Amino acid sequence: MAGETLTIIDNRTGKSLELPIQKGTEGPPVVDITKFYKEFGLFTLDPGFLSTASCKSTITFIDGDEGILLYRGYPIDQLAEKSSFLEVCYLLMWGELPTRPKFEEFSKIVMEHTMLHEQMLNFYKGYRRDAHPMAIMVGMVGAMSAFYHDSLDIQIPRHREVSAFRLIAKLPTIAAASYKYSIGQPFVYPKNELGYVENFLRMLFKVPCAKFTMSPVLVRAMEQIFILHADHEQNASTSTVRLAGSSMANPFAAISAGVSCLWGPAHGGANEAVLNMLNEIGSVDRVGEYIRRAKDPNDSFRLMGFGHRVYKNYDPRARILKKAAHEVLAELGREDDPIFKLALELEQIAQSDDYFVEKKLYPNVDFYSGIIQSAIGIPTNMFTVIFSVARSIGWICQWMEMISGKESIGRPRQLYVGAPQRDYVPLHRRP
Ligand code: CMC
């Protein structure tokens, strides 16, 4: 029996075409337009992908109107509360929660691959000390393909798996080394008996002359940040990874393209921009001025950490991090933290302002994550680096799904609005 279709009629010719409608397990159905150009000689135009599904996926689902985020069907709040980042990695990679032996095996494999090839550490010395750690990340992740080229045949499932393990295991080490280099401290080698997130925090903060300790409350908050950032369906950086990977580029190259895309302030760079903005506002009595600026169509200023392409409701990740921020500041005895108070005030004022209400601009994941990281002692320029470490599992799974689904190379078309064909005029005949 034929499924539902959408009939399109070309009013210029009267020609009609029935386009198949495909339904997913959740979310709006899609109309399959692959035959559209062949039948009508027309491309579709959708800059920014406002109405376009770029692929089929089984990994993550977002209902932006309801503020729902599911990883492999599991609600994000349940995972953030009860799971661990490594378990979420397993879930995203294999589609199911692991049995206990499977989880042990998976954790062991990841934690036994945390060290970098020693020669890779030499690369850091080539960077200026004041380089942004994201600049170093872009280079170092791409450079992994120069070191781990025994697993680069992407047609072989085992190679894809080995590359995935290497990325999950080594990115925290690369990220921590970027930080250590920028502050002139010695690199800290991973300690595999620690949990994934605790090991990362240790590599960030340990110095040879002192013992490393961190409150479990802070480690757990950081683990939640990792879980909440692990995947977010076809966002800009994930789409970048899929597109880069669709040319059969190796996974390290594709993931480094994702890191580059994430860096921008409209995407992962927003967490850094939020804290800079809060510091710039400085005090509650200046909030009104910044709200006015955000609403002014002639001012390019936007309230960072507000608004989302998909969420037209409170970002569920922001709700979890707001609670975590309270817990972290209480643990540190800093309930009166002026920046946190300022953020709460800003949120309250924005949420009662017609402009933000009508445009459905709510706090997004970046609004509170920087406050937590800053309280833990992580410098602002590391926020996006940490986002990239956490998101790498999402990129890897989306890349694997794309490769194993044998999608063809991503090649969008365009509406050309440039000069029509014209003849070259030699320089000596031009004025
Ligand atoms: N402050 C003030 N006005 C805003 C904001 C904001 N943060 N966000 C959107 N608007 C306005 C925008 O000016 C536009 O107004 P108008 O209709 O009058 O032209 C309207 O709301 C719709 O905005 P848009 O840019 O068309 O929406 P979008 O879906 O393309 O953009 C966004 C989404 C996240 C890029 C945008 O909301 C933004 O720039 N937010 C600030 C940056 C930020 O927090 N980014 C992190 C996103 S969450 C992390 C991630 O997933 O990477």
Write the CA distances from 104 to 3, 99, 107, 110, 173, integer angstroms: 44, 9, 5, 10, 21
Distance between Cα 309 and ligand 1 center (Å): 7
Per-residue pLDDT of the chain (431 residues; tens, 9 = 90+): 468 999 999 999 999 999 999 999 999 999 999 999 999 999 999 999 999 999 999 999 999 999 999 999 999 999 999 999 999 999 999 999 999 999 999 999 999 999 999 999 999 999 999 999 999 999 999 999 999 988 889 999 999 999 999 999 999 999 999 999 999 999 999 999 999 999 999 999 999 999 999 999 999 999 999 999 999 999 999 999 999 999 999 999 999 999 999 999 888 888 888 999 999 999 999 999 999 999 999 999 999 999 998 999 999 999 999 999 999 999 999 989 999 999 999 999 999 999 999 999 999 999 999 999 999 999 999 999 999 999 999 999 999 999 998 778 999 999 999 999 999 999 999 99
Condensed to tens digits (0 to 9), the pLDDT of residues 142-164 reads 999 999 988 889 999 999 999 99
265 C-alpha vs ligand 1 centroid, how far in Å?
A: 11
Check if 239 has its Cβ closer than 6 Å to any atom of ligand 1.
no
Interval between CA 360 and ligand 1 midpoint (Å): 10
Give the contacts of 232 (CB within 8 A, at least 6 positions apart): 60, 62, 69, 238, 391, 394
- Phi then psi for residue 12, to 5 deg, are -75, -35
Q: Whose CA is nearest to atom 24 of ligand 1?
A: 309
Q: Is 364 in the pocket of ligand 1 (CB under 6 A)?
A: yes
How deeply is 368 buried, as exposed, middle or buried, from its count of CB atoms within 10 A (0-12, 13-18, 19+)?
Answer: buried
Assign 7 to helix, strand or coil.
strand
Helix (H) / strand (E) element for 60: namely strand 60-63
Q: What is the pLDDT of residue 269?
A: 84
Look-up: residue for tokens 């340990």? Answer: 206
* 383 CB within 6 A, ligand 1: no
The answer, yes or no, to whether any atom of ligand 1 lies below 6 A from the CB of 365, is: yes
Residues carrying an active site annotation: 308, 366
What's the pLDDT at 84? 98
Specify whether the CB–CB gap between 286 and 276 falls below 8 A.
no
Closest-CA residue, ligand 1 atom 51, reads 267
Distances from the Cα of 287 to the Cα of 147, 274, 279, 335, angstroms = 49, 14, 11, 20
What pLDDT does 1 receive?
45
361 Cβ closer than 6 Å to some ligand 1 atom? yes
- Compute the distance from residue 306 Cα to the ligand 1 centre, in Å: 7
Query: Which 3 state secondary structure label does DSSP give 20?
Result: strand
The answer to whether the beta carbons of residues 268 and 387 sit under 8 Å apart is: yes
